[in-house]
Amino acid sequence: MPFDERSFDNPFLKEKPISFSSKAEVIPPNFAKKVEDFLFDKVQIILEQLRDGNISSKDVSVYTGLSGIALMLMKLQNSGILKNRLSENLHDVAFKITKHNDSRKSSACTFLCGDPGSMFVKVLAADEVKKGQRGDLKRVIDAGEVLTRQGGKIYDEYLYGRAGYLGCLVFMGKHFPDFKDEALMDQICKVMIESGISGAKHNRLKQPMYYEWHESEYVGGAHGYAGIFYYLLKLKHLPSVQQVLQKELRDALYWFVSLQTSSGNYPSSIGSQSDKLVHWCHGAPSAVFTLIEAYKVYGDEKFKEAAINCGECGWKRGFLKKGFGICHGTAGNAYTFIALYQLTRDLSHLHRAVCFAQLCVDMDRVEHRTADRPYSLFEGLAGTMYFLIDMMDVENATFPCYQFH
């Protein structure tokens, strides 16, 4: 399949390139109002679906379930964007839909798909309405014990593995500093590093670290190298990461940068010759965060150039027929431009983010695929809304439940 069959033509590509001299010039005068109206309309839809019981209460995950929707609702409430228009307090709704999160068990151990994530969101929502039950956070920490041991069928990737548990610990530590457990984070990083190095030796590879998920060597943020390396780089102050920062991890990042395709994208897995997916889960839109971090840590322009190439790829091919979500959708791809703007302060990247936000606001005018979980944070409408809320405070925006400052 030629790659362009997965994306719409970006209508803004036809426009003459403009050079901007101020942030105000980049953002159209009616932009904030359009975003506000979109958020108002769509939050009514989500609230109605929740009231009518059309969103399954069985899935409590951040990725496709109620916890992710709760995170978006809390973000919208905290943003103040609709403060004069909403009759309902969205913190109350978030509390209501997450308060039974501990009654179901998932086998996953991560922020996005497992009990640690839904437990953390439950406590967060309870805290917002002053019904604190922080003791439950201890259960998130207890869940890490099994991950500090090698072996078994525990993987290292973000969606279902150790990196995804680290994500939960990081966000929990930010919101609840009393529960920040750096010793546990260090132990998890140590096991991830050992697993990567021994995997490379075992497979007699030249690359310094090897990771797989279900026997494939994935590259992207969800299952592969991009997510694992991003977290190791972000946690570089921990003793276990310090030990490999200037040798194994550094060499691994140089190997990672070499994987970029001529179009600026990243393959979904090692050995794959196709260049089809421009998603956060697979492709340049998650590699960009890893490359930016590598540039900050090692200072080599090569990483920055590769990150900018990810932006070019997203700009040409990131307006996806799959929809407007964040895992594999137009909104998620727009975080590439936000990250590049935050790094370089180059207003052309901000312009691209604004263009993608405009495409999202007009989503109902475009025939696109509907996600299996159409209201969820990672596949559906809650994710599109999360991105647009971030566009109202772009300096502090981060890809939800993954990227952090």
Phi and psi for 45 in degrees, rounded to 5? -65, -45
Q: At a CB cut-off of 8 Å and minimum separation 6, what does 127 contact?
A: 134, 175, 176
- Rounded least distance, CB 375 to Zn ion, Å: 16
What amino acid occupies position 52? D
- Rounded least distance, CB 188 to Zn ion, Å: 24
Which span (34-42, 44-52, 278-286, 392-400) binds Zn ion, by CB under 5 A? 278-286
Instruction: Please give the Cα distance from 204 to 246 (Å, whole number).
Output: 21
Instruction: Please give the Cα distance from 45 to 67 (Å, whole number).
Output: 17
Site for Zn ion in 281-300 (CB under 5 A): 281
- Rounded least distance, CB 227 to Zn ion, Å: 12
- Rounded least distance, CB 276 to Zn ion, Å: 13
Q: What is the CA radius of gyration of the chain?
A: 20
Please report, for residues 32, 320, 402, the alpha-carbon distance to residue 355 in angstroms, rounded to integers and kept in the order given. 13, 14, 23
Between 15 and 372, name the residue whose CB sits nearer to Zn ion: 372
Instruction: Please give the Cα distance from 349 to 51 (Å, whole number).
Output: 39
* Residues 224-263, mask of contacts with Zn ion (x by CB under 5 A): ----------------------------------------
Instruction: Please give the Cα distance from 49 to 67 (Å, whole number).
Output: 15
The tokens of 167 are what? 């994500």
Is 138 in contact with 145 (CB distance < 8 Å)?
no
Site for Zn ion in 316-335 (CB under 5 A): 327-328
| 3-state DSSP assignment of residue 218 | strand
- Rounded least distance, CB 278 to Zn ion, Å: 11
- The count of chain residues that interact with Zn ion, using the rule CB under 5 A, is 3
- Rounded least distance, CB 378 to Zn ion, Å: 7
Site for Zn ion in 16-75 (CB under 5 A): none
Between 75 and 328, name the residue whose CB sits nearer to Zn ion: 328
Between 257 and 327, name the residue whose CB sits nearer to Zn ion: 327
Residue written as tokens 């075992």?
202
Residue written as tokens 């930016």?
292
Residue number with the smallest Cβ distance to Zn ion: 281
Between 75 and 373, name the residue whose CB sits nearer to Zn ion: 373
Between 68 and 144, name the residue whose CB sits nearer to Zn ion: 68
Instruction: Please give the Cα distance from 120 to 20 (Å, whole number).
Output: 42
- Rounded least distance, CB 327 to Zn ion, Å: 3
- Rounded least distance, CB 279 to Zn ion, Å: 5
Between 79 and 272, name the residue whose CB sits nearer to Zn ion: 272
Which span (148-156, 227-235, 249-257, 274-282) binds Zn ion, by CB under 5 A? 274-282
Between 327 and 394, name the residue whose CB sits nearer to Zn ion: 327
Site for Zn ion in 167-196 (CB under 5 A): none
The tokens of 95 are what? 């509390």
Between 63 and 95, name the residue whose CB sits nearer to Zn ion: 63
Between 187 and 286, name the residue whose CB sits nearer to Zn ion: 286
Helices (H) and strands (E) in the chain, counts: 16, 0
- Rounded least distance, CB 139 to Zn ion, Å: 28
What amino acid occupies position 182? E
Give the angle 215-320-81 at the CA atoms, nearest 5°. Answer: 110
Which residues would be at the binding site for Zn ion (CB under 5 A)? Answer: 281, 327-328
